[in-house]
Each structure stands twice: as structure tokens, then as C-alpha cells.
Amino acid sequence: GPTRFYDFKVQTRRVSKLCNTKDIVTINGMYPGPVVYAQEDDRIIVNVTNRTPYNVTIHWHGVRQRLSCWYDGPSYITQCPIQSGQSFIYNFTVVKQKGTFFWHAHVSWLRGTVYGAMIVYPRIGINYPFKIPYEEHIIILGEYWVKDLVQIAKATLASGGSPPTVDAYTINGHPGPNYNCSTNDVHKIDVFPGKTYLLRLINAGLNTENFFTIANHKLTVVEADAEYTKPFVTNVVMLGPGQTLNVLVTADQPVGKYSMAVAPYKNAKIVIYQNILAIAYFQYKGAAAYSLLPAKLPKLEDNHAVKTVMDGMRSLNQVNVFKEVDENLFITIGLNVQKCHSKTPKLNCQAKNGVMLASMNNISFVQPKLSILEAYYKKINGSYTEDFPDEPAKRYDFVNGAPNKIPYNTQSSNGTRAKVLEYGSKVQVILQNTGTVNIENHPIHLHGYSFYVIGYGTGNYDARTAQFNLVDPPYMNTIGVPVGGWAAIRFVADNPGVWHMHCHLEIHLSWGLGMVFIVKNGKGELKSLPAPPPDLPQC
Ligand code: C2O
């Protein structure tokens, strides 16, 4: 396909919102940032120039970066950050991929404001496998803080505690009328009666999983994480940070003004209406003075997020996932207030008591000083080790046994450990969420791949009773591992490089909820990672 060129100037911009004015970091002064458009198999070239005092990288979330790991973007994983005054040209092809993606900063908490949509259309002459929509709209769910986000991140991490509650949830940067000084700060979509619209939903939020719904209208999910799904109809969807969903909605209700509403998962149990925070309008053309009418509000029931997002989710076509696996990993997701105690002698309890800490298989991920990919490629020692464990330190009591049992799995030590995979190996990972306290899933995101979500459940994973779907499981890049539950994923490690797998709740990543896979080269150029680009930023 052709090449699409984009110029990204990282710059601050003054924004007035919620009765407050401040500078935020943006791309080209836009918030949300510019939309990157392409078609399947196109090359995308983005020249990123950093005109801020902060370190920057950009990640193309969901793009599998076939043989182009150098352009994946996570800071200190595949590249050193682009420093103030420097630039870097991202150059990659969306090989056999199409759908709704997004890009975001992947350094510190900058993605709180530095994000945008990336839309990849099918090749010319290829239609969507569903009714052609009359129009398409991008709907990005986000979060907004009145205070400076860089300062908030610093203070939160220094305190060892949880981040402050966000000041507003947003839809395309607009909070909607429910907040102070926000009556007119509302995103609106005009619709014609009887027409069908495609909404490209993206959750770009830092720290919240969100429900999305439209008053009185049904949503038909047709794509998840930039892969088609069997269409299914629902009143409400849930998106973890890092997830994208395409839904069709037909303007089939009496002419009027309807609310599109966002509510955070954590608040889902609170009374109807109080939990609806961000609002945008889905407003019918032809309604007399429609803009003066009060918008109809939807009802958000106490939906369990797991069911809401995963029930009914199937690949559009039969896929037949491989049956034998070469690598069988069991990875616990630990999150707790660190408590070193005498019964964990083998683990080096390094963190201070009372500090929040997160881990995978008892290893709390620490970002190295040099990018792991560069260290791996140039064989530089000291930046990481290759001993990420295949299972947790103690393979029992995964789910928090409190108050009688200490959850051993949440004892952790710091490390920058990689799991090395042979080229082409067939990998299964059981992700076990050990948390039962916070009402939240962990949206686990894998770079460089999509994976089949072959199984999913609550409680502890049990190989004897787990049901796997190897016929038409959804093919995703981010999976919300349910609270006190598990998810099973499979992928073929055929894309060489260093690939981050981490929780897409930013605070959890900061606390160490991540790891990396190193996928070795195969034989020949078509199975090997090329040399780094000459302008690769230096640390
Ligand atoms: Cu969208 Cu590593 O993230």
C-alpha cells in the first residue's frame, strides 16, 4: 500500500476546563491528538519532534509491528525516550491489520493527555463484514485532572499510595454537562432518523475501566481490538484502558436528544444516575429545537464487567487455535500493600512496608536505564536478566486468602526479568488475578501480538475444569482479567523482538505490574529483526 506521512510536534497547550486553566502536553496542540488514517498494509511514517521539557515516546497500540519492534514505543523497553529538542521517525507497516487502534505516549503518565485515534480501513474494494454505516464517529474515553498530571504522577509515586480520583471523565476531551463550568463542554453527534452509525470506541483513560452506553439505543459490537467479532447486541459495553470496540447503533428511536454516557467500573454499584459521569449527546436532526431539550439519560445497571465485555465475544470467523503448546506459563497478577514477613524467606522483600506494589509471578517490574531491545540486540549486559519465572513462587493460595492466610503471591522482589521464547513457539499463558479487594479487572496488554482469549472465568484457574474455546475465540491485544479470576491466552511467538506485557492501568504499571518477552529470531531475513534505525534515541 501507499505511505502515510504525519508530523507530530509534541508541545504544550493552554486548556480551560472545569473552571481552571493549565498547560497540558499535546501533539500539534490538539487534545485529543490528531487522527492517523491508513489502509490495511500501508506504511505509516510519523516524524515526532519533542518541543517540551519532558521525555516522550509514542506507542501504536494494537499495531503488531511485524519485524519493526524498534518502532513499538514503550520507553526503556524498545527505545530510549525522545528527549527535549530531539526527534525520532516512527516507520512501520500495518501488516494484515485493519480497524480501530490508538496511539499514546508510553513514558511516565504522559498518555493522560497525549493520545489519539488511529483508523485503518480495509483495502480498496473490500467492505466491512456488516451493514455499511451511514457515518463513522470516533469516541475516545479519557480522564482529566485539574492539577498538573506530571506533578500528580510524581506525588503519587513518591507517596507509595493510590492516585487521586480523577476530576472528570471525558468523551473526546469533553466532560459533558455534569461538572463545574462544563455546561457547554460537551461532545455531540448529529444523527438522522433511521440511519446506522459506526462508533469507534477507545478507552484512553489512565486508571479506570469504563462502561459506555447510549440512552434507549442498542449497541451491536462488531469489532474488538481491531479484529472483527460475530455481531452481538447489548445495552452497555465495558472497556478497560487500552481496549477498542466498534459498535453499530441505529437511530431508531423517537426523534430527540439522547445521552451517550460513561461510568467508571468501580462506581457501577452506586445508584443509577449518580454513577454516570461523562456525557455526550446523540442528537437527532429534525427535532424542533432539539438542542434545548434535556438529554435522555440511560440506565446503567449493576453489570458485571466480565460478562459485559466478554460474553458473546467471538471471532467473526472460525480460527482453530493450535492444540499443542510449547510454552505453558502461569502468571499471577499480584497487587497489595507490601508487607514483608518472616514466612517468605526465599523472597527478597525489598520494598518498604506499607507501600503499594504490583507484580507478575512475584517480580515487580523495574524499568532499566537502557532500552531492553537495544541491550538485547547489542548484547550489552546489566540491563535485564533472562529468568522471568514460568510460574509464581508458591503455586497455591493464588487468590487472596485473607484474613486467615497471607497471600504469598503478592510478596515480591524487584527485577527486570525477561521470558525468552524461541521463534515460532506456541505459547499459552494463564493469567491469574489474585486480587479480590479492589473491584477491578486488570486489563493486561501484550505488545507485538494479538492473542486468542481461549478461556475466562472467576475464582482460581483449574486445568481440570477450565473450558477452552479453540474454535472461534476473540483475537485481542488487551484482556481484562477479572477480579479474583483468570484468563487463558494463546499466541505463536513469530515476531522477533522485545515485547512488553503489562497492566494498562497506569498506576499498576508504575507499581511494577509488567514483564517482557524476548522472542528470538528465526532463520532468514523474513524471520529476523532488522538493525536499529540510525536516529534511534539515546538514553
Ligand atoms: Cu497501550 Cu504498553 O500500551
pLDDT tens digit string along 300-359? 554 444 455 677 899 999 998 999 999 999 998 888 766 655 544 344 455 556 677 889
Residues 35 and 171 in one domain: no
Question: 59 CB under 6 A from ligand 1?
Answer: yes
Residues 375 and 508 in one domain: yes
Residues 270 and 409 in one domain: no
Residues 353 and 501 in one domain: yes
Mean pLDDT, the chain, as a whole number? Answer: 88
Question: 242 CB under 6 A from ligand 1?
Answer: yes
Query: Ligand 1 centroid to 99 CA: how many Å?
Result: 17
- Model's pTM, two decimal places? 0.94
The pLDDT of residue 346 is: 41
Torsion of CA 46, 51, 54, 55, to 10 degrees: 30
The pLDDT of residue 368 is above 50: yes
Report DSSP state, residue 379: T
Q: Is residue 127 part of a domain?
A: no
Q: Is residue 126 part of a domain?
A: no
Q: Is residue 128 part of a domain?
A: no
What percent of the chain lies above the pLDDT cut of 70?
86
Lowest mean pLDDT among 72-81, 162-171, 248-257, 274-283: 274-283
Confidence band, pLDDT 50/70/90 cuts, at residue 511: very high
The pLDDT of residue 296 is above 70: no
The pLDDT of residue 269 is: 44
The domain in which residue 427 lies consists of 327-527
Residues 114 and 144 in one domain: no
Residues 479 and 367 in one domain: yes
Q: Which atom of ligand 1 is nearest to the CA of 241?
A: 1
Query: Ligand 1 centroid to 242 CA: how many Å?
Result: 7
The pLDDT of residue 190 is: 94
Lowest mean pLDDT among 143-147, 265-269, 460-464: 265-269
Query: Ligand 1 centroid to 513 CA: how many Å?
Result: 12
Question: 447 CB under 6 A from ligand 1?
Answer: yes
The pLDDT of residue 188 is: 94
Q: How far is CA 102 from CA 15, 26, 63, 202, 357, in A?
A: 22, 15, 9, 7, 28
Residues 97 and 34 in one domain: yes
Residues 232 and 353 in one domain: no
Question: For position 22, which CATH number holds?
Answer: 2.60.40.420
Q: Is residue 464 part of a domain?
A: yes
Query: Ligand 1 centroid to 106 CA: how many Å?
Result: 7
Query: Ligand 1 centroid to 59 CA: how many Å?
Result: 7
Question: 104 CB under 6 A from ligand 1?
Answer: yes
Question: 32 CB under 6 A from ligand 1?
Answer: no
Average pLDDT over residues 149-155: 95
Residues 365 and 493 in one domain: yes
Residues 354 and 494 in one domain: yes
The pLDDT of residue 345 is: 39
The pLDDT of residue 339 is: 61
Q: Of 94, 121, 148, which residue is a domain's last?
A: 121
The pLDDT of residue 247 is above 90: yes
Q: Of 285, 310, 335, which residue is a domain's last?
A: 310
The pLDDT of residue 462 is: 86
Query: Ligand 1 centroid to 412 CA: how many Å?
Result: 23
The pLDDT of residue 397 is above 80: no
CB atoms within 10 A of CB 414: 15
Lowest mean pLDDT among 33-47, 207-221, 261-275: 261-275
Q: Is residue 539 part of a domain?
A: no
Q: Judge contact between 137 and 198, C-beta under 8 A.
A: yes
Question: 256 CB under 6 A from ligand 1?
Answer: no
Q: Is residue 537 part of a domain?
A: no
The pLDDT of residue 340 is: 58
The pLDDT of residue 433 is: 86
Query: Ligand 1 centroid to 447 CA: how many Å?
Result: 7
Sheet of 20-27, strand order = 20-27, 3-17, 43-50, 87-93
More confident residue, 373 or 180: 373
Number of residues assigned to the chain: 539
As given in the structure block, the three cell numbers for residue 124 are: 480498496
The pLDDT of residue 288 is above 90: no
Question: 17 CB under 6 A from ligand 1?
Answer: no
Q: Is residue 388 part of a domain?
A: yes
Q: Is residue 441 part of a domain?
A: yes
Residues 510 and 387 in one domain: yes
The pLDDT of residue 267 is: 46
The pLDDT of residue 276 is: 61
More confident residue, 126 or 342: 126
Residues 397 and 516 in one domain: yes
Q: Of 310, 341, 364, which residue is a domain's last?
A: 310
Pairing relationship of beta strands 514-519 and 497-503 according to DSSP bridges: antiparallel
Domain count, the chain: 3
The pLDDT of residue 307 is: 55
The pLDDT of residue 386 is: 97
